[in-house]
Amino acid sequence: MGLLSGDALLPVAVAVAVFLLLVDLMHRRQRWAARYPPGPMPVPGLGNLLQLDFQDLPYSFYKLRNRFGDVFSLQLAWTPVVVVSGPAAVREALVKHSEDTADRPPMPTHERLGFRPHTQGIALAHYGPAWREQRRFSVSTLRNFGLGKKSLEQWVTEEAACLCAAFAKQDGHAFSPNTLLNKAVCNVISSLVYGRRFEYDDPLLVRTLDLLEALLEEESGLVTQVLNVFPWLLYIPGLVEKIFSGHMALSVLLGTLITEHRTTWDPAQPPRDLTDAFLAEIEKAKGNPASSFNDENLCCVASDLFAAGTVTTSRTLSWALLLMVLHPDVQRRVHQEIDEVIGQGRRPEMGDQARLPFTNAVIHEVQRFRHIGPLGTPHMTIRDIEVQGFLIPKGTTLITNLSSVLNDEAIWEKPYCFHPGHFLDAQGNFMKHEGFIPFSAGHRACLGEPLARMELFLFFTSLLQHFSFSVPEGQAQPSDCGVFGILLTPRPYQLCAVSR
Ligand code: HEM
């Protein structure tokens, strides 16, 4: 009882406060290391959390970069973070120190959701043998796709035709294109993973997309950031199930589809899709405890491919259509080029890309001007490194500010305008640009880049071959400013797609 009396409580409170301050100081000690990047002064316990606008982190980082330079530090509660911006610093971190920065920071929320050393999927896996094995497997499966009956290009071309048919059904009336774009792009991942597509009204496709949207909301929600910073909160009974219901339901759904798929798998036949190839690897790895080929990881890899490969591509296509509506002069030139090179008599194919330099430049400029992942995915250093003369210690979370490169004033003629000329030379030929890094660079660069480029080209060209896009009569011009979650998304808008 004596312990609870006022006299005794004060020294205990002071001792606890001093202890917490010491722990806090210990977590911040690297701030005082020589050549540690500068940054705003953190407050005890919370660090710089209250100085950031989590609704618009790219803008917070823009202001901090103006104050502290291309390499600055932050303290998110007890997590040390360094943000690198601008072409030189980002390249140095991602390319020169590609392996040193190839880890991902620990995510307590994912660990609670079942992340284990051999069950980490790819996108958020720690740098190590399990990640390497799965990355290699996915890259080679994507490359060799076509072992089955159809090549990936055929799947995408046929899906593009289905998408055009669904747009045509709108009969020129105002509609939001996002749901149809999501369905088409999700079907491409489904053909890769399960060797099948779904009709656009199939409840399984609708449910998968609903759960992917829920997963994205859960990942970008403030609660998730708070839980990753204060992981002991994750032990509140029932909290994980409530906050991550989308994650959990998606795993169950993908698991059910995989179980169904297994019943039709014939190991004696060549693999029909990624799931077949993975099941064959599981058989080979039986008895090898070091292997990451197991049933749970198949579900994690499938979930990663759906999550990383669906909304990214469909949101980019949504930006592309929005920008066509806002720039009818650019749209006219794309129509003209497609009419001259492809006409109306056949479907676009990848072989046309080299003969459509303006269209290709427009797609690149969409990705530059409205990049869906302005801050990339966080990395973590596996050893001490130096970037632009600053020391970044081992174990630091690294944010690579991709939009600072894609909008850099020194390397782009009109960084804040939609200007396809960025990718054209004086003769109108397509021209690559060293600052174009929407898929990031180095060891963790997007492994779906070839597929994403194919989808963007075939879907965009097919849609523009068949339709003219415009703002619905009586509606205001939509805004080209986005909303930032984990991805930069166009604000809700409608368009009319009139058959040409
Ligand atoms: C326009 C479309 C896309 C964009 C802009 C994009 C961009 C990115 C970026 C910026 C990263 C993070 C790289 C880093 O950590 O530095 C990434 C990672 C990843 N992307 Fe994509 N992506 C797109 C489409 C796709 C597609 C279609 C797939 C699947 C087939 C895919 C699968 C992945 C995976 C698995 C990773 C994690 C790689 C790793 O951690 O090793 N992405 N992507």
Q: Which of 145, 189, 446, 447 to mutate to test the pocket of ligand 1 (most atoms within 8 A of CB)?
A: 446
CA 263 / ligand 1 centre spacing (Å): 31
Give whole-number Cα distances, 449 to 94, 105, 364, in Å.
16, 23, 13
- Report pLDDT for 148: 53
Instruction: Give residue 147's pLDDT band: very low, low, confident or very high (50, 70, 90).
Output: very low
Q: At what angle do helices 203-220 and 311-326 cross, to 10 degrees?
A: 90
Instruction: Assign 435 to helix, strand or coil.
Output: coil
CA torsion 378-27-109-298 (nearest 10°) is 50
CA 487 / ligand 1 centre spacing (Å): 12
Would you say residue 137 has pLDDT above 90? yes
Instruction: Give residue 180's pLDDT band: very low, low, confident or very high (50, 70, 90).
Output: very high
Across residues 61-72, what is the average pLDDT? 96
Across residues 89-103, what is the average pLDDT? 98
Dist. CA 1–CA 9, nearest whole Å: 11
pLDDT tens profile 105-119 = 998 888 888 778 888
Least confident residue range of 46-55, 206-215, 401-410:
46-55
**Quick one: what percent of the chain has pLDDT higher than 90?**
74
Across residues 13-41, what is the average pLDDT? 78
Q: Is residue 438 lining ligand 1, measured as CB closer than 6 Å?
A: yes
Least confident residue range of 163-177, 228-242, 301-315, 456-470:
228-242
- Report pLDDT for 1: 46
Q: Is residue 121 lining ligand 1, measured as CB closer than 6 Å?
A: no
- Report pLDDT for 298: 95
CA 71 / ligand 1 centre spacing (Å): 24
- Report pLDDT for 5: 64
Q: Which tokens sit at 362?
A: 């427009």
Q: Is 186 annotated as a binding residue?
A: no
Give whole-number Cα distances, 75 to 41, 78, 233, 357, in Å.
9, 6, 19, 45
What are the φ/ψ torsions at residue 35 (nearest 5 degrees)? 65, 20
- Report pLDDT for 224: 86
Indicate which residue's Cα is closest to atom 20 of ligand 1.
Answer: 446
- Transcribe 284-329 into DSSP letters: HHTT-TT---SHHHHHHHHHHHHHHHSHHHHHHHHHHHHHHHH-HH
**Which residues are 391's β-sheet partners?**
386
Across residues 196-223, what is the average pLDDT? 92
Dist. CA 106–CA 395, nearest whole Å: 10
Dist. CA 353–CA 341, nearest whole Å: 10
Instruction: Assign 81 to helix, strand or coil.
Output: strand
Across residues 152-158, what is the average pLDDT? 93
Would you say residue 86 has pLDDT above 80? yes
Across residues 8-35, what is the average pLDDT? 75
Instruction: Give residue 149's pLDDT band: very low, low, confident or very high (50, 70, 90).
Output: low
Q: Is residue 334 lining ligand 1, measured as CB closer than 6 Å?
A: no
Across residues 380-394, what is the average pLDDT? 96
Within 396-443, residue ranges assigned H as helices are: 402-406
Dist. CA 147–CA 432, nearest whole Å: 31
- Report pLDDT for 352: 97
Dist. CA 185–CA 449, nearest whole Å: 14
Would you say residue 452 has pLDDT above 90? yes
Computed over every residue of the chain, the mean pLDDT equals 92
Q: Which tokens sit at 17?
A: 């406060």
Q: Is residue 133 lining ligand 1, measured as CB closer than 6 Å?
A: no
What are the CB-based long-range contacts (under 8 Å, 24+) for 54-62? 54/222, 54/225, 55/484, 56/484, 57/375, 57/484, 58/374, 58/375, 58/401, 58/403, 58/484, 58/488, 61/85, 61/375, 61/399, 61/401, 61/404, 62/404
CA 265 / ligand 1 centre spacing (Å): 28
Instruction: Give residue 240's pLDDT band: very low, low, confident or very high (50, 70, 90).
Output: confident
Which H or E run includes 495? strand 495-499
CB atoms within 10 A of CB 462: 23
CB atoms within 10 A of CB 14: 10
Cα torsion angle, 438, 442, 36, 73, sign: positive
Would you say residue 33 has pLDDT above 90? no
Residue 429 near residue 420 (C-beta atoms within 8 A): no
Residue 309 near residue 451 (C-beta atoms within 8 A): yes
pLDDT tens profile 37-49 = 999 998 887 889 8
